[in-house]
Amino acid sequence: MSPSNSTCGNGSMPPADNGFFDSTSVLSSEKSIEELIQQPPVQGIDDHLIEFSEALRTVAKALRRVTEGKASAQAEAAEWKRKYELAREHNMQLEKKVLSLGDQSRELIVERARNLEGHIAILDENNDQCELCSGKDDICAHQVLDDGEPDSDSSAASNKMMRKASFKLSWYCKGEKSDRHKHDVVSFEKGNITTAERSSKQISLKWESPPHTVLILTKPNSVSVRILCFEMVRWLKEQNNLNIFVEPRVKSELLTESSYYNFVQTWLDDKDVLTLHTKVDLIVTLGGDGTVLWAASMFKGPVPPIVPFSLGSLGFMTPFHSEHYREYLSSILRGPLSITLRHRLQCHIIRDEAKSEYENEGPMIVLNEVTIDRGISSFLTNLECYCDNSFVTCVQGDGLILSTTSGSTAYSLAAGGSMVHPQVPGILFTPICPHSLSFRPLILPEHVTLRVVVPFNSRSHAWVSFDGKDRKQLAPGDALVCSMAPWPVPTACQIDSTSDFLRSIHEGLHWNLRKTQSSDGPRDP
Ligand SMILES: NC(=O)c1ccc[n+]([C@@H]2O[C@H](COP(=O)([O-])OP(=O)(O)OC[C@H]3O[C@@H](n4cnc5c(N)ncnc54)[C@H](O)[C@@H]3O)[C@@H](O)[C@H]2O)c1
Ligand SMILES: Nc1ncnc2c1ncn2[C@@H]1O[C@H](COP(=O)(O)OP(=O)(O)OP(=O)(O)O)[C@@H](O)[C@H]1O
């Protein structure tokens, strides 16, 4: 029997269905190679055969390592599974215990148990879904809203047991509402590249458990807003039995009006605001676009869905008319509702003088835009801009706006930038009064990181502001770094995100309004 025949006959290893070599065939191949190299050398064998048997020895070793590796991976998976089962058991016991406890301890423990649940869902490699989420292609509230600080003992807020309502988001095109979201994929079948799905779909939010807690945010110093707020709080409590949070200023206004509003909850300090997203199911804003910006700025991480009522002048992001608030809110609390997921930008200021990373400032998160301008300086700005470390340009003029697509209808529009549908993921790069004839605005893809540096040879400082607020100075050598934030702002639509966007540019800006030309006149023959 020739060695080469024996190797071909017993030692070939067909891959298993999953494309990997299965461990039984690996073991039998290794055995046959071992048998082969144990055989006494044949008289007169040449050097090639010795080399060949050395090579087989090496292959045998490699195969053993593969088998051992697989066994250790299996052991690790089993260990994760065991940890998962233990943690889940512990979690269930905790939930049972809280039922027999006093209100305050109960709230604390429920928060902890839910946090644990969130972590388990991430750790469990075998079940990559939260138990409460039924489909892989939807986004469930548990996956994004359960990461708050659990031990906020300074909360003046709730003395009731509160659980956040869970919801699910799904994507659909017009006319196919029942379709589940399919991931954006590019298909390479048969060598042809086709985009299987487009990303800008209408998004529908469906409550999986009913919302219990509403946060109402109001524009200050407005009589009409105050009156509506009083009325809405009463209606939400009496007709819907909801928990209601307001800002401390509004709570004092309500109590000045009547002690009836004692049930309304608020918070004491900024630390409590950080945990609001773990308690609030829905935010209602009463004001203009500025109030929506204000609401978004309170949530540096995940943001609960916002229902923006229009009590301002322009109202690009506020599609709901306040006169019909009962109908709108009843329908939204029932669900499903169409939402726009508005992208945000996160920004860091990198100080030249900072000795360590910790001395830098950020992140600041904006819904509209971050602006770098010349402030009160009479000199041209001199801003060096980089996109993913590639030099883009130097802005010499009044400044630069880095805008989200939601902000494309705000300051960026006034500076000559294009209007972009808010659901389009991208970053607008719009100069303010550039002193050049050829500086057209750009729209960059969502995944880039932008860096704007004030060079050392700049004649002046620059100023940065976030959604028009919190101005900060940038000295020569300082930089602003900006990229897409992972937490969008979900705003409820009156119809759907496209209809609402088109309606706001028609009604708010009178976009392309012109008297229609009469048909009475010359025509093509
Ligand atoms: N020249 C300009 O157009 C200019 C100058 C400064 C600031 N702003 C915008 O004002 C925003 C701050 O708003 P504020 O309410 O706190 O200040 P504000 O009270 O001065 O209102 C600014 C105006 O911008 C409108 N606006 C805000 N966001 C919008 C959006 N996404 N789409 C269309 N219009 C929008 C508001 O309705 C309001 O009429 C900034 O983020 C900036 O975009 C615009
Ligand atoms: N809850 C709040 N607390 C503090 N400031 C707020 C709050 N809500 C809104 N503001 C600020 O009040 C200002 C005006 O608000 P808003 O834009 O909503 O009203 P408006 O100017 O009447 O409406 P529009 O922008 O449609 O003309 C904004 O600068 C905003 O940041």
Pick the catalytic residue: 289, 373, 478, 500? 289
Q: Give yes or no for a contact between 489 and 303, defined as CB atoms under 8 angstroms apart.
A: yes
Ligand 1 centroid, distance to 411 Cα (angstroms): 6
What is the per-residue pLDDT for 515? 94
Q: What CA–CA distance (Å, rounded) separates 177 from 193?
A: 27
Q: What CA–CA distance (Å, rounded) separates 128 from 138?
A: 13
Proportion of the chain above pLDDT 70, given as a percent: 63
What is the per-residue pLDDT for 121? 38
Q: Cis ω on the peptide bond leading into residue 336 (within 30° of 0)? A: yes
Q: What CA–CA distance (Å, rounded) separates 218 from 294?
A: 9
What is the per-residue pLDDT for 164? 87
Complex ipTM value: 0.95
Tell me which H or E stretch contains 93. Answer: helix 47-98
Instruction: Extract long-range pairs of 429-433: CB within 8 Å, 24+ residues apart.
Output: 429/385, 429/392, 429/400, 429/401, 429/402, 430/400, 430/401, 430/402, 430/403, 431/395, 431/397, 431/399, 431/400, 431/401, 432/371, 432/373, 432/397, 432/398, 432/399, 432/400, 432/401, 433/397, 433/398, 433/399
Check pLDDT > 80 for residue 15: no
Among protein residues, the one with the nearest Cα to ligand 2's atom 31 is: 290
What is the per-residue pLDDT for 353? 87
Per residue in 391-439, pLDDT tens?
999 999 999 999 999 999 999 999 999 999 999 999 999 999 999 999 9
164: closest CA among 181, 132, 141, 187? 141
Structure tokens at 412: 């960026």
Q: Does the beta carbon of 319 sit less than 6 angstroms from any atom of ligand 1?
A: no
Average pLDDT of the chain, as a whole number: 79
Per residue in 219-267, pLDDT tens?
999 999 999 999 999 999 999 999 999 999 999 999 999 999 999 999 9
Among all bound ligands, the one having the nearest atom to the CA of 217 is: 2
Q: Give yes or no for a contact between 435 and 380, defined as CB atoms under 8 angstroms apart.
A: yes
Is 151 catalytic? The answer is: no
The mean per-residue pLDDT over the stretch 191-215 comes to 80
- The CA-based diameter of the chain, rounded to the nearest angstrom, is 109
Do β-strands 213-218 and 282-287 pair in parallel, antiparallel, or remain unpaired? parallel
pTM: 0.74
Torsion, Cα 228 232 234 240, to 10 degrees, reads: 170
Ligand 1 centroid, distance to 448 Cα (angstroms): 25
What is the per-residue pLDDT for 390? 97
Among all bound ligands, the one having the nearest atom to the CA of 216 is: 2
Q: What CA–CA distance (Å, rounded) separates 2 from 432?
A: 82
Strand partners, 286: 218, 309
* Atom number in ligand 1 closest to CA 468: 40
Among protein residues, the one with the nearest Cα to ligand 2's atom 7 is: 219
